[in-house]
Amino acid sequence: MRIDIITLFPSMFKGVFDESMMKIARREGVVDIRVHDLRDWTCDRHRTADDKPYGGGPGMVMKIEPVDKALKDLKNKSAKNTVVILLTPQGDRFDVREAKKLSFLDHMILICGHYEGFDERIRSLVDREISIGDYVLTCGELPAMVLCDAVIRLIPGVLGDKNCLEEESFENDMLEYPQYTRPAVYNDMRVPSVLLCGDPKKIRVWQEEQAEKRTRTRRPDLLEREREELYEETDS
């Protein structure tokens, strides 16, 4: 997969993609991440990428011209499926299901918003608008990092053991069960005895029960969504 990121602050990405799984995925050639300075597509000596909004109002608005030029240059004609994504609080809510869909792409182009906002016409240049949550950040660079991390780790071979993905939170609309490691007792806090019994079947039953209990307590909406989807499948 190739990921092109269009940003006004490319230095923000330094370090993020050079550690942990991101570093391994890039080193192994699983993903090619390229960060581009939007100002490289401006046409004046001041490299202006923003301007005052028509009609007045606070802040500055990202201009459409450099974004349009950047997209024309970065779209990979050889890629089977290229998706241009605008990171914005007004976009579709990002979740694990969306991350899975994006992980099958050959090419993603991410546009990071900044300042007060962006020229509305930029929306006509993109395929998707995505939000990582119902809150506003100072920039789109942070959501771009979150999206990249969530998507790249789902690409086969990045994590190594596929079972790591199958048992984590939000898989099958469930939160992950509690996990423990040595020592078995710490400050009177004990690891559940079933995990020490050595019986895989008993342990698996306990894990499933705990996952459902935790989901029911903390995120009952996930169980409700699962029931709704099951009903839709049965009804169809």
In a domain, 51, yes or no: yes
pLDDT exceeds cutoff 60 at 166? no
SS3 103: coil
Better-scored residue on pLDDT, 168 or 130: 130
Structural domain of residue 200, as residue ranges? Answer: 167-235
pLDDT of 17 strictly over 60: yes
Task: Evaluate whether residue 162 is within a structural domain.
Answer: no
Same domain, 174 and 148: no
**Which candidate, 141, 145, 88, 93, places its Cα nearest to that of 118?**
88
Contacts of 31 (CB under 8 A, 6+ apart): 1, 2, 3, 25, 152, 155, 158
Q: Each residue of 31-73: pLDDT tens digit?
A: 999 999 999 999 999 999 999 999 998 889 999 999 999 999 9
Using alpha carbons, select from 177, 184, 175 the residue that is nearest to residue 220.
175
Tokens 């606070």 — which residue? 58
Name the domain boundary from 92, 123, 152: 152
Tens-place pLDDT, residues 1-13? 999 999 999 999 9
Same domain, 95 and 69: yes
| Domain CATH code at residue 197 | 1.10.1270.20
Would residue 97 count as lying in a domain?
yes
pLDDT > 90 fraction of the chain, expressed in percent and rounded: 75
Specify if 141 maps to a domain.
Answer: yes
Per-residue pLDDT of 68-122, as tens digits, reads 999 999 987 667 789 999 999 999 999 999 999 999 999 999 999 877 789 999 9
DSSP for 1-69 reads: -EEEEEES-GGGGTTGGGSHHHHHHHHTTS-EEEEEEGGGG--STT---EEPPTT--SS-EE-HHHHHH
Same domain for 117 and 175, yes or no, is no
Answer with the one of 152, 180, 211 that is the final residue of a domain. Answer: 152
| 113 shares a domain with 224 | no
140 with 90, same domain?
yes
Mean pLDDT of the chain: 90
- The structure's pTM equals 0.85
Give one word for 235, left, alpha or beta, with left for phi > 0 and alpha for psi -120 to 50: alpha
CATH code for the domain of 13: 3.40.1280.10
Q: Is residue 161 part of a domain?
A: no
The helix-helix angle for 20-27 and 141-152 (nearest 10°) equals 70
On whether residue 157 sits in a domain, the answer given is no
End position of a domain, from candidates 152, 180, 208: 152
pLDDT in tens, 119-161: 999 999 999 999 999 998 989 999 999 999 999 999 988 886 5
pLDDT of residue 225: 76
Q: Is residue 159 part of a domain?
A: no
Residues 75 and 28 in one domain: yes
Whether residue 213 is found in the same domain as residue 115 = no
Same domain, residue pair 17 and 50:
yes
Owner of token pair 């490691």: 181
Query: Which pairs count as long-range contacts for 139-143, CB under 8 Å and 24+ apart, including other chains?
Result: 139/9, 139/12, 139/112, 139/113, 139/114, 140/7, 140/86, 140/87, 140/88, 140/110, 140/111, 140/112, 140/113, 140/114, 141/7, 141/9, 141/12, 141/13, 141/112, 141/114, 143/87, 143/94, 143/112
Indicate the number of domains in the chain: 2
Flag whether 147 is in a domain: yes
Q: Are residues 143 and 201 both part of a single domain?
A: no
